[in-house]
Amino acid sequence: MVIDTQNSRPKYQIRLQKVGIRGLKTFFITEKGGLRHHYIPTVELTIDLPADIKGIHMSRLVESMTEIITDQFSVHPSVEELQIRILEALAEKHNCEQGEIKFEFEFGYQSHTPVSNKRTWEVCDVVASTIIEKDKPIIHDIKISVIGNTVCPHCMVNNNGLTHMQRAIGALRVVGTTDQIPNYGDMIKIIEDSFSSKTYSILKLEDEMHVTKEMHDNPLFVEDVCRNILQNAKERFKDRDLEICAEAQSLESIHKHDVIAQGMLELRGNNNHSHG
């Protein structure tokens, strides 16, 4: 006989907003427009817990997720749609008002070197979350981080054109409903176009010369990169309803510290405004 201690009453009857698992690794495949991607995300999966229930059945969280991931011949239309199905399956097994699932993973995409035109495979970091709450729209929260570079304009104008260069990290985060969320490719391009220059996993000499010149022709502060991301996103997604956050981090080459800039915009069709 199994006694479900989870269903007993807790000593202190207080509702908990998030209870679940963190740090679980799993595997799934998506395919859209003939393009297939394989993912090995680190998962955080939580639901709320009513005040009168002591605990949740943790195994059911993993069980529900695994059943959905292995359904449909293990191929899913998108990360977001997979997350929705997992949360909907959880709601059937748990007495919960809300659920949230977060995947953290590396995403590979194709690029080409600027002069030699060699094909390269680049990798960026993605954090994708979906939240389902009773009687509210489903909300997605996607953050993509891409490596680029910056050249200091202040040093350049005061040092006869000589200046310092550094690798930089640009991040774009969008929050919105399912029909408003952009694809990863558009988000990556917005970030890459916001640096002094892109970076590449392969560079031949002619490519190095091109990138170096491009960097010096386009010197940027980290603040410039952050604003570029916001402006590029505003122009690209002007017809969408989205909350947009940008962050730029310069991995300083001549300092012992890094430099960051952050900003936010709300897009409501053509009625867009910024937040301080």
CATH number of the domain enclosing 136: 3.10.270.10
Distance CA 216, CA 163 (A): 9
In the predicted structure, residue 241 carries a pLDDT above the cut 50: yes
In the predicted structure, residue 39 carries a pLDDT above the cut 50: yes
196 shares a domain with 239: yes
The number of C-alpha atoms within 13 Å of 104 and in the hemisphere containing its C-beta is 9
The number of C-alpha atoms within 13 Å of 200 and in the hemisphere containing its C-beta is 23
In the predicted structure, residue 72 carries a pLDDT above the cut 80: no
- Return the pLDDT at 5: 63
pTM of the model: 0.91
Contacts of residue 65, defined as CB under 8 A and 6 or more positions apart, other chains included, come to 26, 43, 45, 86, 89, 90, 101
**Domain containing 198: what range?**
103-276
- Return the pLDDT at 105: 97
In the predicted structure, residue 120 carries a pLDDT above the cut 70: yes
Q: What mean pLDDT comes out for the span 211-233?
A: 97
Instruction: Indicate whether 256 belongs to any domain.
Output: yes
Tally of residues, the chain: 276
In the predicted structure, residue 168 carries a pLDDT above the cut 80: yes
Q: What is the mean pLDDT of the chain?
A: 91
- Return the pLDDT at 246: 98
Of 60, 79, 96, the domain-final residue: 96
168 shares a domain with 51: no
- Return the pLDDT at 25: 95
In the predicted structure, residue 274 carries a pLDDT above the cut 70: no
Using alpha carbons, list the distances in angstroms from residue 238 to 231, 267, 272.
10, 7, 8
Instruction: Indicate whether 8 belongs to any domain.
Output: no
Q: What mean pLDDT comes out for the span 92-120?
A: 92
Instruction: Indicate whether 4 belongs to any domain.
Output: no
In the predicted structure, residue 2 carries a pLDDT above the cut 80: no
